[in-house]
């Protein structure tokens, strides 16, 4: 498995190591998931497992059902247009992750063993305090601007295609699901950290 070459595959308790990602209507989605909130509408930009104290480093994905013209779209957080004041405010703002067994506060930027990471998920990170409340619209606007200006699409062409996402750097989203793409199925493995760093 490609994921095991990068590091240690991980999963949430009670879930399989290989996650199956399929479009679901809100009514049939597992509670407290992005699908339960958005159904077949577009998913917002996010990093996977932003509600974990330390998000997985990599996502390894493949399409088991190829539907050309329906990509996974990414942006590079290192290309966000942040001046010094904005960056300082984004670092200082606190966000509450409360829909978990052990709620905690986090920042959009985090540091782990000298490596800077970026986390964002509007579904699981709620503003905590005035600073985060005030900058929340700015965060959405800056992410949206980069999505419009420099999207990085992965248009799945083959079941042999593998996409490796640096989940501490890249932010991704899924467009709304047209009828022709409702059979789209992705397989995803989360990787804890790299053996090559």
Q: pLDDT value at position 147?
A: 97
Domain count, the chain: 1
Residue ranges of E strands in 13-76:
19-21, 58-65, 72-76
| Whole-angstrom distance, CA of residue 141 vs CA of residue 153 | 20
Give the residue ranges of DSSP H helices in the chain. Answer: 2-6, 34-38, 84-92, 130-149
37: pLDDT confidence band, cut at 50, 70 and 90?
confident
Distances (CA, A) of 133 to 96, 106, 136, 137: 11, 14, 5, 8
Q: What percent of the chain has pLDDT over 90?
A: 68
Residue 43 is part of a domain; what is its CATH number? 3.60.130.10
What per-residue confidence (pLDDT) applies to 63? Answer: 93
- Looking at residue 195, its pLDDT comes to 53
Q: How does 37-68 read in b/e, with b if 16+ C-beta sit within 10 Å? A: ebbbeebbbbbbbbbbeebbbbbbbbbeebbe
Q: Is the pLDDT of residue 40 over 90?
A: no
Q: What tens digit of pLDDT does each residue of 142-155 get?
A: 999 999 999 999 99
Q: What is the pLDDT of residues 48-66, one digit of tens each?
A: 999 999 999 999 999 998 8
User: What mean pLDDT do residues 78-88 have?
Assistant: 97
Average pLDDT, stretch 30-43? 83
pLDDT of the residue at 105? 98
Percent of the chain beyond pLDDT 70? 96
Q: For residue 1, is pLDDT > 70?
A: no
**Cross-strand pairs, 65:** 185
- CA triplet 161, 38, 116: central angle to 5 degrees? 60
* Domain range for 52: 2-194
């Amino acid at each position: 498995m490609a994921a095991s070459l990068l590091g240690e595959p991980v999963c949430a308790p009670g879930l399989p190591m290989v996650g199956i990602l399929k479009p679901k209507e809100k009514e049939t989605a597992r509670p407290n998931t992005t699908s339960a909130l958005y159904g077949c509408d577009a998913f917002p930009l996010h990093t996977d497992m932003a509600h974990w104290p330390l998000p997985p480093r990599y996502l390894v994905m493949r399409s088991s059902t190829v539907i050309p013209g329906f990509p996974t779209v990414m942006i590079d957080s290192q290309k966000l247009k942040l001046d010094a004041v904005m960056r300082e405010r984004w670092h200082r703002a606190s966000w509450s992750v409360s829909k978990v067994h052990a709620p905690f506060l986090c920042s959009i930027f985090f540091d782990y063993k000298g490596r800077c990471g970026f986390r964002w998920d509007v579904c699981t990170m709620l503003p905590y305090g005035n600073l985060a409340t005030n900058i929340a619209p700015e965060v959405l606007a800056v992410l949206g601007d980069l999505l419009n200006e420099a999207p990085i699409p992965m248009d799945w062409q083959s079941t042999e295609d593998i996409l490796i996402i640096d989940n501490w750097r890249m932010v991704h989203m899924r467009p709304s699901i047209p009828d022709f793409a409702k059979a789209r199925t992705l397989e995803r493995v989360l990787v804890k950290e790299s053996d090559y760093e």
